[in-house]
Structure 1
Amino acid sequence: MSAPQPAPPFDAGPLTDPVDPRAVSAFQTELRARGTSGVSAASIIAIVVFGLVFVVAMTLVGATMVSMFTDPGASSFAGLGILAAAGVGITIAIVSWRRSRVARYRLDAFARANGMSYEATAANPALPGMLFGLGRSREATDLVRGTQPRFVEFGNYQYTTGSGKNSTTHRWGYVAVKLDVPLPNIVLDAKGNNGFGSNLPASFQREQRLSLEGDFDQYFTLYCPEGYERDALYLFTPDIMARFIDNAAELDVEIVDDWLFLYTQRKASTLDPATWAWLFGAVGAVITKLDQWERWRDERLLIENPTAAAAASSRVSPQAAGERLPFAPPAGLLSPPPGVAHEGRRLKKSFPWLPFVVVIGFAVFWFWSRSF
Structure 2
Amino acid sequence: MSEPLPAPNWRTGTLDFSAFSVPNQPVEDQEVQASFWPTIPRGKPAWNSLIWLQWIIVITGYLSSLIFLPVWLSSLIGLATASGRSYPGSVSPTPILIIFGVMLWVFIGAAIWGTFRLREARNRGYLWWRLLRFATANGLTYRPWAEVTDSTTSLVRGNERFWFEDGFRPTDAPEDLTIATLVIGGDFDEFNAGERRWGFVELRLDRSLPHIVVETTARGRAVSDYGMSASQAFELEGDFPHYARVYADEENRATALELLTPDVMAAIVDEIAGFDLEVRGDRLSMTSPTMNDLAYPATLARLFRMAAVIGEEARAVSMQRGDARYSVEALAVGTPPRMRQRRIPRGAIRGFIVSGVAIVVPTIVLLILYGLRAS
Bin of the TM-score, shorter chain as denominator length: 0.5 to 0.7
Q: Is 1:24 paired with 2:29?
A: yes
- Contact 1:54–1:86 (Cα < 8 Å) also in 2: no
Residues 235-246 of structure 1: matches in 2 within 5 Å? 235-246=259-270
Offset at 1:291? Answer: 4.2
Equivalent position amino acid for 1:260 in 2 = L
Corresponding position of 1:48: 49
Residues 8-87 of structure 1: matches in 2 within 5 Å? 8-32=13-37, 35-37=38-40, 44=45, 47-51=48-52
- Contact 1:255–1:261 (Cα < 8 Å) also in 2: yes
In the superposition, relative to structure 1, how do residues 156 and 126 fare at CA in structure 2: closer, same or farther (>3 Å)? same
In the superposition, relative to structure 1, how do residues 189 and 273 fare at CA in structure 2: closer, same or farther (>3 Å)? same
Deviates more, 1:84-93 or 1:259-268: 84-93
Residues 1-372 of structure 1: matches in 2 within 5 Å? 8-32=13-37, 35-37=38-40, 44=45, 47-51=48-52, 92=116, 94-146=118-170, 151-162=176-187, 167-192=193-218, 194-195=219-220, 197=221, 200-268=224-292, 270-297=294-321, 338-341=323-326
Distance 1:269 1:104 in 2: 13
- Contact 1:125–1:132 (Cα < 8 Å) also in 2: no
SS of the aligned residue for 1:242 comes to: helix
Offset at 1:133? Answer: 3.2
SS of the aligned residue for 1:161 comes to: coil
TM-score normalized by the length of structure 2: 0.62
Corresponding position of 1:76: none
Distance 1:106 1:14 in 2: 6
SS of the aligned residue for 1:183 comes to: strand
Distance 1:255 1:88 in 2: 42
TM-score normalized by the length of structure 1: 0.62
- Contact 2:154–2:227 (Cα < 8 Å) also in 1: no
Distance 2:222 2:57 in 1: 44
SS of the aligned residue for 1:227 comes to: helix
- Over residues 98-117 of structure 1, what are the superposed CA-to-partner deviations in whole Å (9 max), with x where a residue is unaligned? 32111111111101111111
Distance 1:85 1:223 in 2: 43
Offset at 1:44? Answer: 3.2
Offset at 1:124? Answer: 4.3
Offset at 1:241? Answer: 1.9
Offset at 1:238? Answer: 2.1
- Contact 2:214–2:276 (Cα < 8 Å) also in 1: yes
SS of the aligned residue for 1:296 comes to: helix
Distance 1:163 1:94 in 2: 21
Distance 1:85 1:10 in 2: 38
Offset at 1:25? Answer: 0.8
Offset at 1:45? Answer: 8.5
- Over residues 115-167 of structure 1, what are the superposed CA-to-partner deviations in whole Å (9 max), with x where a residue is unaligned? 11101111344522022334343121110112668821110121233469994
In the superposition, relative to structure 1, how do residues 85 and 238 fare at CA in structure 2: closer, same or farther (>3 Å)? closer
In the superposition, relative to structure 1, how do residues 245 and 86 fare at CA in structure 2: closer, same or farther (>3 Å)? closer
- Over residues 198-252 of structure 1, what are the superposed CA-to-partner deviations in whole Å (9 max), with x where a residue is unaligned? 5853442222112212222121100012311222222222222222222112210
List gaps (5 residues or longer) in structure 1.
1-6, 59-83, 299-337, 346-372
- Contact 1:268–1:276 (Cα < 8 Å) also in 2: no
Distance 2:265 2:222 in 1: 20
Distance 1:175 1:198 in 2: 24
Distance 1:22 1:157 in 2: 30
Using the aligned pairs only, state the percent identity. Answer: 24
Q: RMSD of the TM alignment (CA)?
A: 3.6
Distance 1:24 1:14 in 2: 13
Structure with larger RCO (C-alpha < 8 A, sep 6+): 2
Offset at 1:20? Answer: 0.8
Equivalent position amino acid for 1:132 in 2 = V
Equivalent position amino acid for 1:210 in 2 = F
Deviates more, 1:40-49 or 1:234-243: 40-49
In the superposition, relative to structure 1, how do residues 23 and 162 fare at CA in structure 2: closer, same or farther (>3 Å)? closer
Offset at 1:276? Answer: 2.0
Distance 1:230 1:181 in 2: 17
Distance 2:177 2:203 in 1: 5
Distance 1:264 1:41 in 2: 28
In the superposition, relative to structure 1, how do residues 148 and 252 fare at CA in structure 2: closer, same or farther (>3 Å)? farther
In the superposition, relative to structure 1, how do residues 55 and 132 fare at CA in structure 2: closer, same or farther (>3 Å)? same
